[in-house]
Copies of this chain bind each other. A is one copy, B any other.
Amino acid sequence: MPEITYREALRHAMAEEIERDQNVVLLGEEVAEYDGAYKVTEGLWKRFGDKRVADTPISEAAFIGMGIGASMLGLRPVMELMFWSFSTVAWDQIVNNAGMVRYMSGGLINCPIVIRGPANGGTNVGATHSHTPENWIANVPGLKVVCPATAYDAKGLLKSAIRDNDPVMFMENTLLYGEKWEVPDEEYLIPLGVADVKREGTDVSLIAHGRAALTALKAAELLAAEHDISAEVLDLRSIRPLDEDAILKTVRKTHRVVLIEENKPFCGVDAQIAAMIQEKCFDDLDAPVLRLSAIDAPAIYSPELEKRQLPRPIDIVAKVLSICR
């Protein structure tokens, strides 16, 4: 299978969906003539023209709201936030309009919109540019959240997100844009709500999403090589809907769990997962569910320290060793 980057995978997903459905339109800052701040949309404006790919002013509240309004009329806007961090200035539109208009209209109105962009720390862009709001979003019934970790997942999930008839918040990672994975040439879809066992194991379950899933894979290698511990790595892929069955399955298999995420700990996604596991697998657990999150402070700029702030493979190993001995 050919290897392509995460960035290309996203681009291919969008190109295919633009071709497939005339209601798909890409909107955002610098997505067209500039080819995207992170070059995710490179070439799409040239290829599909002004109507299908357009640059917006720096007016997130207006253009995200505009996309939502257009989606109510049946368009399928795929909106780029240059960073998900900038969702703070369109928060009302995302939560109250995309999240609630279907409910408040008794099901009369849908918002088949996708809002996508990077949501990650680790690139030394400071606290205001490093938000990972998947937990905030997933708190809102009415919204869906997806956090792909690989190029393969990114493509299959984005295509599903675009075809989904509910609003999907799609969170990417600038650190992964340039990474390569095998991605088939043929079309494929990955449904929302299906987690992926990225590595089988028997002694402990490492559950993660987004880039943390890759960190977990590295930790699993270290655990195997250095500690003879067989770790299973479950990548959630989508946060809401959530593949609870897959979580319960791996927990019931290994009886020990470490949850890893790059978000801040308080009320992070892993708080939800831990709460759920202890409730549903109370008698299956041989140890408490442990969590590893970013160090609980705003994202620090200093490059060396920001690396330290996010979960590293050795931090995961330490957590695992504390419950597997």
Contacts and interface: CB of A to CB of B under 8 A. Distances in A.
Interface in A259-288: 263-272, 274-275, 278-280, 282, 285, 287-288
Nearest to A129: B96
Interchain residue pairs A-B with the least CB separation, the first 4: A274-B275, A91-B91, A88-B92, A278-B278
A289 B279 contact: yes
A173 interface: no
Interface in A46-89: 61, 88-89
Nearest to A281: B288
Q: Which has the most chain B C-beta neighbours within 10 Å: A95, A99, A268, A296?
A: A95
A285 B282 CA distance: 10
B267 A289 contact: no
A299 B279 CA distance: 25
B88 A89 contact: no
A254 to B, nearest CB: 16
18 contacts: A61-B89, A88-B92, A96-B127, A96-B128, A100-B128, A103-B127, A104-B127, A135-B267, A138-B266, A138-B267, A139-B263, A139-B264, A141-B264, A141-B296, A267-B268, A274-B279, A275-B278, A279-B289
B139 A268 contact: yes
Contact of A272 (B131, B271, B282): B271
A262 B303 CA distance: 40
A266 B239 CA distance: 10
A246 interface: no
A126 interface: yes
A7 interface: no
The oligomer's copy count stands at 2
Given A139-B267, A265-B272, 6 more contacts: A136-B139, A138-B267, A140-B264, A240-B266, A275-B278, A282-B285
A95 B141 CA distance: 22
Contacts of A289: 275, 278-279
Interface string A290-308: 1100001110110000000
A91 B83 CA distance: 15
Contacts of A269: 267
A142 interface: yes
Nearest to A131: B95
Nearest to A142: B298
A90 B204 CA distance: 43
A274 B259 CA distance: 14
Contacts of A140: 264, 298
A271 B142 CA distance: 19
